[in-house]
Amino acid sequence: MLAGISSSYLRRGVLSSTIRSPRLLSSTRIAPSLSQNYSASMKILAVLYKGGEAATQEPRLLGTIENQLGIRPWLESLGHEFIVTDDKEGPESVFQKNVVDAEVLITTPFHPAYVTKDIIDKAKNLKLCITAGVGSDHVDLNAAVEKRIQVLEVSGSNVVSVAEHVIMSILLLVRNFVPAHEMIERGDWQVSDIARNAYDLEGKVVGTIGAGRIGYRVLQRLVPFNTKELLYYDYAALPEEAAKAVNARRVEDLKDFVSQCDVVTVNCPLHEGTRGLVNADLLKHFKKGAWLVNTARGAICDKDAVAEALKSGQLSGYAGDVWNVQPAPRDHVWRTMKNPLGGGNGMVPHYSGTTLDAQARYAAGTKSILENYLNNKEQEPQNIIIGLSGYETKAYGQRK
């Protein structure tokens, strides 16, 4: 158990179902292995990411279209139709063609199918959206409430995975790691070019925007680094015991918060109140040369404002794995942006929460949610974002 909070609620099961090879319609379309004469009792649609050769070689890549969360044999044994695809863009996509009569939709934050109000209006039979992972902002939650569509996610399934990625990202920025590695790849060796912008994390002020399951674990993991101070900004204060366990101080004004931090890490959900939260105006209040890490959602940070702040040196570095559109376009400015010294970019594809360990947990959690739904059993409360009566959590903003 980590200091100040129990981890006993985390799902640690691993699916044991044998994974079998699905029939491929094309590189992006996978057909359910049902005979034409078979009448399925329920249509379940899953939009996952393409794993390619890696998924063939590594069956534990459960979040891919090839390995399908390990649930196809189980679902088909129950007589259900299971459509799996990564083809999600446009009205002719497998996603949009099949969502119109699907009863259950499984999506993932790593290759999100954007379930807009228009999509929800067309999905006349849709009753349940499951996020295989954590973070359901790709679903129009207000529209789901209107249509009484339940939205659930596998709460806690990848919080450790993401928190570890945050710590890694902080360190690679503060220690100026990426330019150092690139120097070695080029065959160069000029220590001073790297050391002039490399620092210790010890003695720095580090703050998290959001101190929930992930943000709090980030604070826990920062304690051994002997930082000068740990801060957090959140609409809700941590329980006194939890705050004392990590010696974290709450700052209630966001501009005041960022002005005190050497490192800011974003660990809050994306919703109406956080979209574009880190914008040009807020960035002016950061300490000059601060580092910013975002593994929450790309749209929380203004794309162009961040790039300009890095270019000007207002930020020394920006790192994360989340993008405002995923997959990110090849010309996305975050792919190539640099600080004045030619470094400061720690961006990677969205994978912090989809380690092999995390995939085992969110695949098992997805199956558990489906089992409860199919057997008309109550769902675990922490997994419910939208219930039949509306919002069941304040994670996506404070609701009535």
Residues with catalytic function: 158, 297, 326, 350
The sign one gets for the Cα dihedral 122, 126, 127, 132 is negative
- Where do the DSSP E strands lie in 32-125? 43-47, 81-85, 104-107
**Distance in angstroms (rounded) separating the CA atoms of residues 5 and 7:** 7
Q: Strand 43-47 relative to strand 29-31: parallel, antiparallel, unpaired? A: unpaired
DSSP string, 307-373: HHHHHHTSEEEEEES--SSSSPPTT-GGGT---TTS--EEE--S-TT-SHHHHHHHHHHHHHHHHHH
Do residues 61 and 67 touch, judged by C-beta distance below 8 A?
yes
Assigned token pair, 258: 């960022």
- Where do the DSSP E strands lie in the chain? 23-26, 29-31, 43-47, 81-85, 104-107, 128-131, 150-153, 205-209, 229-233, 248-250, 263-266, 290-294, 315-320, 345-347, 384-387, 390-391
Residues 6+ apart with CB under 8 A from 239: none
Do residues 62 and 70 touch, judged by C-beta distance below 8 A?
yes
Other beta carbons within 10 Å of 229: 15
**Distance in angstroms (rounded) separating the CA atoms of residues 267 and 208:** 7
**Distance in angstroms (rounded) separating the CA atoms of residues 26 and 183:** 41
Closest CA to 135 of 398, 383, 387: 383
**Distance in angstroms (rounded) separating the CA atoms of residues 157 and 153:** 9
Q: How many CA atoms lie within 13 Å of 180's alpha carbon, on the beta-carbon side?
A: 14
Name the β-bridge partners of 319: 293, 346
**Distance in angstroms (rounded) separating the CA atoms of residues 24 and 238:** 49
